[in-house]
Amino acid sequence: MQRLSVILIKEWREALRNKMVLFGVIFLPLFLVAFSVYMVIQGGDTDDPIAQIVLFNTSLMYFLLLPAIIPLAIAVYSIVGEKEQATLEPLLATPISDLELFLGKALASVIPALAINWISFGVFLGATRLFVGSVPLQTLTSPWIASIFGLAPLLALFSVLVTMLVSSRASDARAAYQFSSFAILPGIIPLIVYSSRKTLVNLMLVGIEAAVLLVISAVLLYFAIRVFRREQILTRWK
Amino acid sequence: MITTEGLTRRFGDLVAVDRLDLDVRKGEIFGFLGPNGAGKTTTIRMLAALIAPTSGTAEIAGKQLGAANREIHRRVGVLTETPGLYRRLSAWDNLVFFAKLYRVTDPAGQAERYLKLFDLWDRRDAPAGSYSKGMRQKLAIARALLHEPEILFLDEPTASLDPEAAKVVRETIERLRSKERTIFLCTHNLDEADRLCDRVALFNTRLIKVGEPAAMREEMYGRRTVIHLVDPRPGIEDALNLPFVKKIDRIDEALVVSLNDPERENPLLVERLVELGVGIRYVNELRMSLEDLYLDLMEDGDATA
């Protein structure tokens, strides 16, 4: 698995030199954190406690979207980029195993997505404390903590697997991006539930979503590993 | 170094490579010639253990294809049809990345060695995407050599290069000639194959012929001397009908004489012409090109297919 770290470092080096990836990985989180903090400040300016809770809850939703959106940008360019540059064949001619290549590509997207998401969340909490005076702990409930730290990795994994499968069939990054973008849907579910006002985000809802994501991800993983075989890559990928 | 028996690859109903039997020797530059779509790239992919054959067996650098594929990957280097470089990464990063994947003992040292060998050291920090086509091809060859492979597969190394860049790449291949390294050169540039290869195989889905270019030419066309005359008078062919002359043809003011041993027989021919009082402008050997041979054999191959 030493080669895994070699792949990871190469992937990140390439991503850092790609403006499109950088936009998705740096600008988007910055924007969402700034917007979240702005909403919380707006809530702090009102005397209506319900409005404060609504605005804070809406801000927290963004930290379920980021882990789905960030891997999309990295994974699309990681795979379509290899195709566009015709680098897959020389890469597959090395003694790297199919699994190492697959894991390298997947983790190169998941790790930064989670790291950036959690750092953004930390920045958001810090900024909230700075501008509002305190973090409303009655709103930052255990289902939210479970979502941001437990559900987020599954959302990132789901997003990566969908993107890898779509990218293996796509010939250009834009098409892959468009077709993969439905991978952020599971991240919107808590937002839909919350907006419907039928129930609050609760642990059971988070647990059900996690279980469903796990099952779907297991199926996607099975197909993704099959797609990531040398022979498949060289003869079937377009 | 490379031995194949009945190596076949099908894609559905399409037979890309049909019962290929090859024996490539250690240290030779082996040309694999054929038209576009002949199955050359598929053959390289099979021999480099990238795709599996449908049937048949192969031994690559002493390792059985299929049973020891990762070991084969360690022992072969592949230059694909396009250089396949990470364009945003520098030449240095490209090489060090691959050296690490091959688990080269000193990745940085080996990258430095090949960048210097191919005169790319001064531009090592520039993105590979900023390189000229020739430089990219050299960098790709350097990448294929980083782990000191016993066999180097080169798939159309000069295709799409301008003549100057192609010359640089050809000179590079010539420099790589070594007793320890076998080079399997896939090309449809016949002049290049003629200049570089010790032996060539003509291939179009199936193997048509294998041999040394000169020996194949001799076998196909024999050896022929062209005598350009000052005054080609009629009937001179009959007067030149010496016992060792196999055939005489007349092309304009020249006679084309088929011989077995021109080194010994040419002086006798010239002597006879002088005796006959025929003026000679000059004498030279008619060398058929590998292209002539290729086209004739491919035509025969198509006819018998």
Over residues A124-142, mean pLDDT: 79
With beta carbons less than 8 A apart as the criterion, state whether B294 and B202 touch: yes
Percent of chain B with pLDDT over 70: 98
Residues of chain A with Cβ-Cβ distance to B144 below 8 Å are: 90
pLDDT at position B305: 44
What span, in angstroms and rounded, lies between the C-alpha atoms of B167 and B182? 21
Contacts of A85 in chain B (CB under 8 A): 84-87
Nearest-by-Cβ selection for A6 from B50, B52, B100: B100
- Angle subtended at Cα B144 by Cα A5 and Cα B86, rounded to the nearest 5 degrees: 55
A26-40, A83-97, A170-184, B180-194: the lowest-pLDDT one: A170-184
Confidence of residue B9 (pLDDT cuts 50, 70, 90): very high
Chain A (75-134) residues lying within 8 Å, Cβ to Cβ, of chain B: 85-97
> Residue A57 — very low, low, confident or very high, per pLDDT cuts 50/70/90?
confident
Residues in chain A closer than 8 A to B127 (CB atoms): 17
Best A18, A77, A82, A87 member to test B by mutation, with max B CBs in 10 Å, is: A87
Which of A85, A87, A93 minimises the CB distance to B48? Answer: A93
- B299 φ, ψ (degrees, to nearest 5): -65, -45
Q: How far is B101 from chain A (nearest CA, A)?
A: 6
- Walk across the sheet containing B14-24 and list its strands: B14-24, B2-11, B55-60, B63-64
Is A2 in the B-facing interface, judged by CB distances under 8 Å?
yes
Tell if the CB–CB gap between B84 and A85 is shorter than 8 Å: yes
B2-211 and B222-290, same CATH topology = no
* Interface contact flag, B140 A90, Cβ < 8 Å: yes
* Cβ-based burial of A123 (10 A; exposed 0-12, middle 13-18, buried ≥19): middle
Per-residue pLDDT at A83 exceeds 50? yes
pLDDT at B57: 94
The answer to whether residues B155 and B39 touch, using CB atoms and an 8 Å cutoff, is no
Predicted pLDDT of residue B263: 87
The larger pLDDT score, comparing residue A113 to residue A238, is at: A113
Q: Which of B10, B100, B133 to mutate to test the interface with A (most CBs of A within 10 A)?
A: B100
In the numeric block, which tokens belong to residue B211? 């041999």
Do the Cβ atoms of B182 and B75 come closer than 8 Å?
no
B222-290 topology per CATH:
Alpha-Beta Plaits (3.30.70)
**Cβ separation B101–A87 shorter than 8 A:** no
Closest by CA to B222, choosing from B256, B190, B194, is: B256
User: Are B153 and B29 within 8 A, CB to CB?
Assistant: no
State which CATH number among 3.40.50.2300, 3.40.50.10260, 3.40.50.300, 3.30.870.10 fits the domain covering B2-211: 3.40.50.300
- Find the closest chain A residue to B82 by CA distance: A86
ipTM attached to this prediction = 0.84
- Alpha helices, DSSP H, located in chain B: 40-47, 69-75, 91-101, 107-117, 133-145, 163-176, 190-196, 213-221, 236-239, 262-275, 290-304
User: Which residue has tokens 């390439």?
Assistant: A14
pLDDT tens digits, one per residue of A176-211: 777 777 777 777 776 677 666 655 667 888 888 889
Contact yes or no for A93 and B76 at CB 8 A: yes
Dist. CA A148–CA A63, nearest whole Å: 6
Nearest Cα residue in chain B from A96:
B101
pLDDT above 90 (res B47): yes
- Band the pLDDT of A8: cuts 50, 70, 90: very high
Give residue A46's pLDDT: 75
CB-closest option in B50, B74, B83 to A234: B50
Q: Which of B295, B79, B52 is nearest to B173 (CA)?
A: B79
Please determine, for residue B286, whether its predicted confidence score (pLDDT) is greater than 50.
yes
Residues of B in contact with A235 (CB under 8 A): 11, 51
Q: In 3-state terms, what secondary structure has residue B24? A: strand
Q: Which residues of chain A have a CB within 8 Å of the CB of B84?
A: 85-91
B102: pLDDT confidence band, cut at 50, 70 and 90? very high
- Any CB–CB contact under 8 A between A6 and chain B? yes
**Paired tokens of B93:** 């990063």
CB pair distance less than 8 Å for A14 and B50: no
Cα gap A44→A131, rounded to integer Å: 9
User: What pLDDT, on a 0 to 100 scale, did the predictor assign at position B93?
Assistant: 96
Q: What is the pTM of this model?
A: 0.82
Whole-number pLDDT of residue A59: 84
Q: B93–A87: do the CB atoms touch at under 8 Å?
A: no
Cβ neighbours of residue A162 closer than 8 Å, sequence gap 6 or more: A180, A182, A183, A220
Across A58-72, B62-76, B165-179, B221-235, the highest mean pLDDT is recorded for B62-76
B233-280 pLDDT, tens digit per residue, is: 777 878 777 888 888 888 888 888 888 888 888 888 888 888 888 888
pLDDT of residue B86: 95
- Contacts across the A-B interface (CB distance below 8 Å): 77
Asked if residue B178 has pLDDT above 80, the reply is no
8 Å CB contact of B74 and A10: no
Residue B139's pLDDT is what?
93
pLDDT tops 60 at residue B303: no
* Inter-axis angle of helices B133-145 and B91-101, nearest 10: 20
Chain A CB contacts of B54 under 8 Å are none
Six-digit token string for A71 = 């891997």
C-alpha angle A87-A93-A95 in degrees, rounded to nearest 5: 125
Residue B276's alpha-carbon distances to B233, B235, B256, in angstroms, are 11, 12, 18
How many beta carbons lie within 10 A of that of residue B253, not counting itself?
12
Contacts of B89 in chain A (CB under 8 A): 10, 13-14, 17
Q: Tell me the C-alpha distance between A191 and B56, whole Å.
A: 58
**Mean pLDDT score, B182-187:** 92
Average pLDDT over residues B298-304: 62
Indicate the pLDDT class of residue A128, thresholds 50, 70 and 90: confident
Length of chain B: 305
| Euclidean distance between CA atoms B37 and B19, whole angstroms | 16
Distance CA A159, CA A110 (A): 9
Partner B contacted by A22 (CB < 8 A): no
Task: Compare all CA atoms of chain A with the CA of B127 and give the residue at the minimum distance.
Answer: A17
Domain parsing of chain B, residue ranges = 2-211, 222-290
More confident residue, B141 or A170: B141
